[in-house]
Amino acid sequence: MTPPDNSRRKKPMNSEPFHVRFKNVQKSYDGLTLVVKDLNLDIGKGEFVTMLGPSGSGKTTCLMMLAGFESATHGEIVLNGRPINNIPPHKRGIGMVFQNYALFPHMTVAENLSFPLAVRKMPKDKISQKVGQALEMVQMGEFGDRYPAQLSGGQQQRIALARALVFDPELVLMDEPLGALDKQLREQMQFEIKHIHQQLGVTMVYVTHDQSEALTMSDRIAVFNDGIIQQLASPDDLYERPENRFVAQFIGENNELGGTVDAIDGDIARVTLDNGDKVSALAVNIEGAGARTMLSIRPERVIIDPDESRVPQAIGGLVKELIYLGDHIRCRMTVAGNDEFIVKVPNAPGNRRLKVGEKIRIGWITEDCRALDAA
Amino acid sequence: MLIAHISDPHVAGPGKKAYNIAPTAENLARCVEHINRLEPRPQVVLVTGDITSSGAAAEAENAAQILQGLRFPFYLVPGNHDRRETLWAVFGGQACPSRSAGFISYAIPGYDLHLIGLDSTAPGAPGGKIDPQRADWLDEQLARCAAKPTVLFMHHPPVKCGVLETDEDGFEGVALLGKVIARHAHVQRILCGHIHLEAHAAWQGTVVSTAPSTGMQLVLDLTMTQPSAFVLEAPGYQLHYWTPERHLVSHTVYVRDVDGPYLFEEYPEEKGEPK
């Protein structure tokens, strides 16, 4: 892969700490309901931020407002310290890749790429050099003379990516760019996009509903639901330290146990589960003693037959179903009335084989059990 | 298919206004932003001439920078304020995909409507001109796409519109053009600019439409007695919508801050904030 030519990359005009800032942004299409509610988000220069959420959560609307394709109803979007409305479209330095933002069908690949360069006072030989580099970057160096219709979906998407990068934008926006590709190609492109980001140091804002895509590529992920950012955090924080029930459920696999808070002692909540079992959990997002809570425990953090001196408590569970998956056994249990409780038992030496119908003891360390809102 | 049609941007040099009054570059950028936000999206943007204020290369380059902000392919033909060679140097091979015998005339196949850009300029003269060479070229182009509904776009309207200055500019060889158009029933529309006003007229079996200017609008004076003047009205452009029923419907859009949209419903007496 040829390293890109960064020598002409323009330095930002000022030393704003943030490349992009959403400030109290609201969006309404009908004047009655807000699809984006009071959004605040700062994106650093060179950062890869993913807006992740179910459809209708407001993530694409936010990207469209940043792209200038929609206007904010209230609030302000600031780019390099300037309100985006005060910057004409051609001066924003934004490259875009959208799933449904197709290549121009009547131009060859090379023409598609040279279109954004055509009149930046760039000499013709320089243009063809830039086009060549951008094509190399997406491993499509041989395809300059083809027309889009002669390319596969994956190849077209690579060209769209090259077109977004060819004029050295400072900011690249992508809306589900891999949505139409099959799983294998999608995973390959995820790594390529991640590598290109590392190589170029551009700021990337990526929209997807696919959490594994978000976890693979992002520096930080903004989890959207109902027009609100539920949590903004690095992938590991998001998975290991979800701050509310929505995030815990949306990111990765999650076990929930409902209960009532008996007492809070510093960081630790004592909780009575709905079947009467008493457990302790990390107090993350609960109102106080007497409040309902939903405990969140990841399947790989549940310990079978725990050494009861090492865990705060153990409770009983009934094995309902076992699925052998090679490296681990997936065990579905009934625990405190929840019969969809999943435990991933590593296929490790010394781990005993469970049997369906067996009653076992399970436990966890307090930090792995998070007491969240019951909303 | 949806065509966005902008005309007469009259962009001045970087940081300058046309006639030192009209913020034509800013107005064009506002139209670009407006078009980028359209839903459904146009497939193509056509620019019918007078890209520049005085024909200077710096003006064409400034306009190119702004038009580059469009997220759709755009094509342009020269107007009387432009210089052909300058336009070709800046836009040739891209927004002017090809030229024919020095004229920036070309066909764009591949869309639901066949598009033909026609160079109607005469160097040094404000009026339109079609000579036998261009008429023959057009006749041949139209014969080739006879099976397909076609849109012709050029700077000068081939009819007098009741606008003093541009009517006086005239159109040399307009009868020649008329004969060609009359021979080809598949010409759905002739899209023009030049008069800085929206106007429509039936002509030679088709319809001539002029788009307002993105830069500055003319004062309409059908008495044709007052000196020609412009006003800094909202920038405007047209949308030509080829409907599923195969009618080419033209809408004019003005880019201005407006209150709304409102649905046709009774609203609470006190207009509240959105919840």
Averaged confidence pLDDT in chain A: 89
With beta carbons under 8 A apart, name residues in chain B contacting A37.
Answer: none
pLDDT band at A186 (very low <50, low <70, confident <90, very high): confident
The CB density around residue A195, as the number of other CB atoms within 10 Å, is 13
- How near does any CA of chain A get to the CA of B109, in Å? 8
The pLDDT of residue A11 is 42
The pLDDT of residue A8 is 41
Determine the residue among B86, B94, B113, B266 to mutate to test chain A binding: the one whose Cβ has the most chain A Cβ atoms within 10 Å: B94
Could you tell me the strand order of the sheet in which B125-129 lies?
B121-122, B125-129, B171-172
A69 and chain B in contact, CB less than 8 A:
yes
Closest B-chain CA to A97: B71
For residue A265, give Cα distances in angstroms to A133, A268, A271, A296.
60, 5, 11, 19
With beta carbons under 8 A apart, name residues in chain B contacting A104.
Answer: 73
A18 and chain B in contact, CB less than 8 A:
no
Residues of chain B with confidence (pLDDT) below 70: 271-275
Mean pLDDT of A27-42: 91
Check pLDDT > 50 for residue A191: yes
Residue B104 — φ and ψ, nearest 5°? -85, 75
Question: Which of A184 and B213 is assigned the larger pLDDT?
Answer: B213
- How near does any CA of chain A get to the CA of B30, in Å? 7
In order of their start, the domains of chain B are 2-254 (3.60.21.10)
CA dihedral A245→A246→A247→A252, nearest 10 degrees, is 90
A29 and chain B in contact, CB less than 8 A:
no
Nearest to A121 among B26, B33, B61 (CB): B61
Which among A127, A122, A123, A120 is positioned nearest to A144, based on CA atoms? A127
Residue length, chain A? 375
Q: The tokens of A158 are what?
A: 């690579």
Which among A162, A167, A160, A164 is positioned nearest to A117, based on CA atoms? A167
The pLDDT of residue A14 is 47
Helix extents (H) in A29-123: 59-67, 109-114
B247 and chain A in contact, CB less than 8 A:
no
Tell me whether residues B94 and A68 touch, CB distance under 8 A: no
Please name the helix (run of DSSP H) or strand (run of DSSP E) that holds residue B91, with its range, or none.
helix B84-91
- How near does any CA of chain B get to the CA of A117, in Å? 8
Nearest to A105 among B33, B71, B110 (CB): B110
Closest A-chain CA to B275: A33
Tell me whether residues B110 and A121 touch, CB distance under 8 A: no
For residue A161, give Cα distances in angstroms to A96, A181, A265, A305.
8, 14, 52, 51
The pLDDT of residue B58 is 93
Lowest mean pLDDT among A92-96, A249-253, A308-312: A308-312
A290-303 pLDDT, tens digit per residue, is: 999 999 999 999 99
Mean pLDDT of A9-35: 78
Q: The tokens of B92 are what?
A: 């040739």
Tell me whether residues B32 and A30 touch, CB distance under 8 A: no
DSSP strand E in chain A: where? 18-28, 34-44, 48-52, 74-79, 82-83, 94-98, 171-175, 203-208, 220-225, 228-233, 255-265, 268-273, 278-283, 292-297, 303-304, 314-324, 328-335, 338-346, 359-363, 369-372
Determine the residue among B34, B37, B41 to mutate to test chain A binding: the one whose Cβ has the most chain A Cβ atoms within 10 Å: B37
A12-22 pLDDT, tens digit per residue, is: 444 567 999 99
CA dihedral A192→A196→A202→A207, nearest 10 degrees, is -10
CB within 8 Å of chain B, chain A residues 98-127: 101, 104-107, 111, 114-116, 118-121
For chain A, percent of residues with pLDDT exceeding 70 = 94
B113 and chain A in contact, CB less than 8 A:
no
The pLDDT of residue B264 is 86
B182-227 pLDDT, tens digit per residue, is: 999 999 999 999 999 999 999 999 999 999 999 999 999 999 999 9
Q: The tokens of A369 are what?
A: 């059990």
What are B77's strand-pairing partners? B48
Q: Rounded distance, CA A259 to CA A4, Å? A: 56
B66 and chain A in contact, CB less than 8 A:
yes
What are B230's strand-pairing partners? B218
The pLDDT of residue B272 is 54
Lowest mean pLDDT among A64-68, A98-102, B259-263: A98-102
Q: Rounded distance, CA B28 to CA B256, Å? A: 13
Check pLDDT > 70 for residue A119: no
B223-258 pLDDT, tens digit per residue, is: 999 999 999 989 999 999 999 999 999 999 999 877
Check pLDDT > 60 for residue A10: no
How far does chain A reach from its first CA to its final CA, in angstroms? Answer: 50
A195 and chain B in contact, CB less than 8 A:
no
ipTM: 0.73
With beta carbons under 8 A apart, name residues in chain B contacting A106.
Answer: 73, 108-111
Nearest to B274 among A34, A91, A96 (CB): A34
Determine the residue among B1, B36, B68 to mutate to test chain A binding: the one whose Cβ has the most chain A Cβ atoms within 10 Å: B68
Q: The tokens of A187 are what?
A: 């995973």
The CB density around residue A16, as the number of other CB atoms within 10 Å, is 17
Closest B-chain CA to A164: B71
Q: Rounded distance, CA A87 to CA B86, Å? A: 27
Q: Rounded distance, CA A267 to CA B86, Å? A: 72
Q: Rounded distance, CA B26 to CA B65, Å? A: 12
With beta carbons under 8 A apart, name residues in chain B contacting A73.
Answer: 274
With beta carbons under 8 A apart, name residues in chain A contacting B75.
Answer: none
Going by the DSSP 8-state scheme, the letter that residue B92 receives in this structure is B
The pLDDT of residue A308 is 82
pLDDT band at A86 (very low <50, low <70, confident <90, very high): confident
With beta carbons under 8 A apart, name residues in chain A contacting B29.
Answer: 88-90
B108 and chain A in contact, CB less than 8 A:
yes
Q: Is A184 helix (H, G, I), strand (E, B) or coil?
A: helix
Q: Rounded distance, CA A362 to CA A336, Å? A: 11
B64 and chain A in contact, CB less than 8 A:
yes
Tell me whether residues B274 and A106 touch, CB distance under 8 A: no
Which among A69, A73, A77, A74 is positioned nearest to A30, based on CA atoms? A73
A312-341 pLDDT, tens digit per residue, is: 889 999 999 999 999 999 999 999 999 999
B275 and chain A in contact, CB less than 8 A:
yes
B264 and chain A in contact, CB less than 8 A:
no
Going by the DSSP 8-state scheme, the letter that residue B73 receives in this structure is -
Name the burial class of residue A322, with classes exposed (0-12), middle (13-18) and buried (19+) by CB atoms within 10 angstroms of its CB.
middle
